[in-house]
Structure formats: C-alpha cells, structure tokens
Amino acid sequence: MMTGKKSFLFLYFIPLVLLFGMSQDFEYENGLAKVVYVDSIDVSFRPRVELDDIHGDLMVLGGADKIVLEQHCYLKVSSLKKKKGLHKIFEENKAAMFQKGHQIVIRGNNRNPDLEIEYVLRVPTESDIKGELSGADVECEYVSGKVELKTGGGDIEVGDIKGQVILKTSGGDIEVKDVEGPVTASTSGGDVTISRVDGNIDVSTSGGDIWLREVKGTCDLHTSGGSIEIMGCRGKKVFGKTSGGDIIVRDLLADIYLRTSGGDIEVEGIAGDATLKTSGGDIKIDSIDGYGDISTSGGNIFVEYSGGDIVLNTSGGDVEVKKAIGEIDATTSGGDVWVKKYSREDGSLGTVELESSGGNITLYLPKGCKATVRAEIVMRKRSRGKYSVHSDFPLSMKEEEAGRKIVLRATGDINGGGDIVELKTGEGDIFIKKF
C-alpha cells in the first residue's frame, strides 16, 4: 500500500507547533518546488467530513481536537525563470475547506498535470468520513464513526475504526484491519485483505484474491478471477464464491457455503455445517464436525474426519473418508470409494450408502457394529467371475441375469442386524473389511 515516490510516514512526526500555522515558503530540490498549506477549523460537535474531487494520495487520522488539513504540494520546475508565479499556481489548485453546519467540506481543485498534492486530514476521533478520490491511494486510521471511501484507481487501507466501513476502488488493493462494525469492500482489479473485524463482511473483487483473518460476523465473499483464503473466523455463516481460483479454509467456527468453478477447495477445522462445491477441482477436508454437502464435477474428494452426517458426490474422481462418525452417502461416476466407518456407543452405524458407476468400493466396519448389509455389483455377462463381493463378515451371495447384465448381490446381518449399509457398483469389486 502507498508505494509511491513519497511516503506519508514522515507526517506522523511533524511537530504540533507547525500544524496550526501556514507555510507558504517554497523549497526547491531536484527540480521540484515544494510548499505545505495548513488550514484548520475548530469544532465542538461530531463532524461529518466530506472530501470530493481529490487528486492525490490522502491520509485521514483521528485523534485531533479540531479539523486540520495539510496539503503537501510538489510542482515540477525546470528553470529559475519558471519559478515566477508559483504562488498563484499553488493557490489556484489547492483544495478548499469550509464548514456547512456540522458538515466539513473539502473540495479538490487540482487541474495542473505537473502539480502533485498529498493530503493529510486530522480529525477528532468521533467523526464520520466520506471521501472520493480520482486514482490515488487513501489511508484512514483511529476514527470512531462511519467511514466511506472511494478511489478511481488506487489502494485503500483502513485500521482502528469503530463504525461502518464502505470501501470501493476501481483498480487497486484493499486492506482492512482492527474494525468494530460491518465492512463492505469492492475492487475491480485488486486483492482484498481483511483481519480482526467484529462485524459482518461483504467483499467482492473482479480480478484478485481475498484473504480473511479473525472475523466475527457473517461473511459474503465473491471473486471472479482469484482465490479465497479464510482463517480463524467466528461467525454465523461464511459464503464464498470464485469463478477461477482455489478456496482454503482453516479454523472456522461457522457454517460455510463455498463454490469454485475452476479450482480446489481445502478445509481444515470446521465446527459448523459445510456446503462445498467445485466444477473442476479436488476437495480436501481435514475435519468437519457438522453436516457436510460436498460435490465436485471433475476431481477427487478426501475427508480425514467427519463428525456429522455427510453427503459426497463426484462425477469423475475418487472418494476417500478415513474416519466417518455420522451417516454417510458417497457417490462417484468414475472412480473408487474408500470409507472407514466408526460406530456409535450403542454399536449402531447410522445409514451408509456408497455407490460407484465404474470403480471399486472398500468399506471398513468395526467388528462389533450392528448393521444390515446390501451389496450389489452390476456387470456385463462377459465379465462374469471378474468382479465379486469380498467380505470379512459372513454374507449370502446370489447372482441373477437382468437382460444383458448380470447382478451379483450379497446380503446379511452383522451382529444381529441394524442400520442399512448399501453398496453398489458397476464393473468393480466390493470389499467389506473388519477392524
């Protein structure tokens, strides 16, 4: 952020004695004429500050006891002769500040392409800020009030804000940190980074990535060409959608709905429910405690731990679940299914449905579980004897013809029977193993 030729950092250290005077003495260095204008307005109320038509970088700082506007002006001067008339140029192009009731208006007027102005606005902490810039960077810190900032092509950075935040840039990055209040941020061509926010989040970018850290609130995230990464968020719901990137989620205490049209989804540590969908990538879940609705049109699904009920579907990949506690429904149209299913304290499993249209199914069951197994393999007649049901538990096997197909069925009760375990595949083997 703010990576231009000059930096606002030095402005933090301007002695207070200089803030309330006006400097119009020119300095000359490396072909630049420099001057600083300082204007101030005393306020005994909560001001509404509106900045309009600002051409140049802007920094807004809360904590002052009045409104103070600093304009740091830089003009290219190629010869001593051209130094004449500088005062008029600066005066004609500097911004004007005036008061209208409880409103403070700052109106830019820089129309000189050789003149660069950097603005520093110091306001009382209790202030509302609304600013519109033309293609420049803007920063805002230490304000308790509504902050609304818009720039045509620069970066926006805000921090330590207590109040609603609305940010928009047409071609830059947005960074938000340490905010107590709802945040709306949109950019047409940059990244968005948000951290430590206590409030709802609404973020959109047409061509960048989204990073979210430690947010308490409902989150709605959209990017057309980037990735989404979410970490350590505590809220009710998180919605995330990208048309061309990956989605990564870690340590989330919320229900999530995530969709990507062309990337992978990776999830670690989800305490709530999850709906995860991708049209062209893999889905990997480290742990999920709530209900899961997981689907991909062209990739694999891998789940390390599932504590709640889960539905898994892939049109062109494998499904693997290493530890499933709740009920499970897993389907693939062109791959294998591998599941290790754990029973509840009473020995019951809950419903288990595993299906593959063209691969093997492997199911691990605890030796003491109670279940009723229904396994089925559909194959062509010429494949008779090639595929079978291999079970560590005793099952009854039956084969019958159905038109041009052969159907092999294996059924039986484990430990007296219980919840239904239904396994179906076409042109593949079924393995039921004991652990």
Distance between CA atoms of residues 52 and 121, nearest Å: 13
Res. 159: pLDDT tops 60? yes
Q: What is the dihedral of CA 355, 360, 365, 371, to 10 degrees?
A: 40
- Residue whose structure tokens are 């005066």: 91
Encode pLDDT of 300-357 as tens digits.
999 999 999 999 999 989 999 999 999 999 999 989 999 999 998 887 899 999 999 9
Average pLDDT over residues 56-70: 97
Sign of the Cα torsion 279, 333, 374, 396 reads negative
Rounded to two decimals, the pTM is 0.86
Long-range contacts of 398-401 (CB under 8 A, 24+ apart): none
Residue 225 has a pLDDT of: 83
Residue 398 has a pLDDT of: 95
Going by pLDDT thresholds of 50, 70 and 90, the confidence category of residue 128 is very high
Distance between CA atoms of residues 34 and 32, nearest Å: 6
Q: For the chain, what's the residue count?
A: 435
Sequence-separated (6 or more) residues with CB below 8 Å from residue 141 = 60, 61, 62, 158, 159, 160, 161
Residue 15 has a pLDDT of: 36
Q: Which two tokens stand for residue 21?
A: 């005077």
Alpha helical stretches, state H, 73-211: 86-93
Encode pLDDT of 387-396 as tens digits.
999 999 999 9
Distance between CA atoms of residues 313 and 294, nearest Å: 6
Residue 244 has a pLDDT of: 82
Between residues 63 and 27, the one the model is more confident about? 63
Going by pLDDT thresholds of 50, 70 and 90, the confidence category of residue 105 is very high
Encode pLDDT of 14-43 as tens digits.
333 333 344 456 787 777 889 999 999 999
